[in-house]
Structure 1
Amino acid sequence: MQIFQLEKLEKSLDTTSKNRVIDYFETLDTLKALPLQERLVRANFYLNQLRSLPDIVTYKQNDYWGTPKEFLICGYGDCEDFAIIKYFTLLKLGFEKEKLFITTSNEKFTGQPHMVLSYFESKEKPPLILDNLSYKVLDLSKRVDLEPKIFINEEGSYKLDTHNNLTRIGDMPRKFKELLERIALES
């Protein structure tokens, strides 16, 4: 899945944004040759170098899910934007969409909502967590600071039980569906 066409953007971008987008695609090309686990760790590290700013500053809204294109062009976003770009980046890097979940959670120490990307490497293990607040990719059992709520992908919404099994609880949330529609319009 192509996130967006670089050729269509080149004329409209400022130099910094253009360089960031070009660097993103060049980095993806270098990551594709690496083993799956290495792609995961390096993609998380690479994308965590983008700046974090709240939606109210970036989009003048309290809760906006930016597309990967919007995030790369502006160069900053909040936890949702990081989880979203990581989801689509890993899809581009050959990860199975059935194993990737944008995950809503609570940060236990602050009580604040937080979004991360979960990767279920196997059904026997807790998911690996890609978080804009950590350069380390750790499995959920080691993330004592996170309390996951809902796991979201293109198939629907899920809850995780104590044995690391996902149970479908509903369809894809409206915000995710709207995000996919906006991404389709950008291509």
Structure 2
Amino acid sequence: MAYRRLAAVGGAVILLIAGGARGGFDMDRMRQVAQLRFGTAAAEAVDGWRSAVVSWRDLPEEAQLQRVNEFFNRRIRFAEDSQVWGQTDYWATPLEVLARGAGDCEDYVFAKYFTLRELGVAEDRLRMTYVRARIGGAGSSVTQAHMVLSYYATPDAVPLVLDNLVTGIRPASARPDLAPVFSFNMQGIFVGGATQASQPVDRVSRWREMLLRMNAEGLRD
């Protein structure tokens, strides 16, 4: 993401989630769209994703987290939206991220989130979390806006953090470099350490635009 935009993003997230009951992926449809829009390499990337998802379905949930985190961290190269899409802020679908093989921190998070939901991980265990990430070491005062995926085994558990900046999954208590700002999922927005969404969201934004593109690509409601 473009880190200078944290304040603007904070306001925009109040407009994020316009409904959005998640169905499953129609992988055949996604492959067709990938082939038509991006070419053979993109279709093959979808094939690889589908094969991986099938192989992960019967794994324990913690193993699914590890596999999904590793899959996208290894396959996707970090790049700003301006480089990948020619826009200052574009929320790419998992198909688009796989097709381009590149994305910013938000794109990693959305791809991991929707893959875990496809595997059956419950909505209330996953939150997309905006943080201030400290860079330059423990003594540094330099931070940048960043997004990670948080997994809650129980509502009041210390979440596990899935991050494109760090290879392994760690509990939030082991990531002093990250200062949470707020988090969200389909249920709404969570502020601070709240276990319940502080407010529902009912206005259209980039989140809804992304979901509409996903529906066209093969996400079944």
Give the TM-score taking structure 1 as reference length: 0.90
Q: Deviations over 1:112-131 (max 9, x none)?
A: 11011111111232111111
1:1-187 correspondence runs (5 A): 1-2=24-25, 5-9=29-33, 11-12=35-36, 13-49=38-74, 50-109=76-135, 110-161=142-193, 165-171=195-201, 174-187=205-218
Give the conservation status (yes or no) of the 8 Å contact 1:99–1:120.
yes
User: Which 5+ residue runs of structure 2 have no aligned equivalent?
Assistant: 1-23, 136-141
Bigger helix fraction: 2
Please report how far the alpha carbon of residue 15 of structure 1 lies from its aligned counterpart in structure 2 after TM superposition: 3.1
Matched AA of 2:25: Q
Q: Deviations over 1:6-44 (max 9, x none)?
A: 342364243322221111110111011211110111110
Please report how far the alpha carbon of residue 3 of structure 1 lies from its aligned counterpart in structure 2 after TM superposition: 6.2
SS for the counterpart of 2:154 is coil
Highest relative contact order (Cα 8 Å, sep 6+), 1 or 2?
Answer: 2
Matched AA of 2:123: K
Rounded to whole Å, the distance in 1 between the matches of 2:50 and 2:96 is 15
Please report how far the alpha carbon of residue 165 of structure 1 lies from its aligned counterpart in structure 2 after TM superposition: 3.2
Give the TM-score taking structure 2 as reference length: 0.77
Matched AA of 2:60: P
User: Which 5+ residue runs of structure 1 have no aligned equivalent?
Assistant: none
| Aligned positions, number | 185
Which deviates further from its counterpart, 33-42 or 120-129?
120-129
Bigger strand fraction: 1
Matched AA of 1:48: N
Please report how far the alpha carbon of residue 105 of structure 1 lies from its aligned counterpart in structure 2 after TM superposition: 1.1
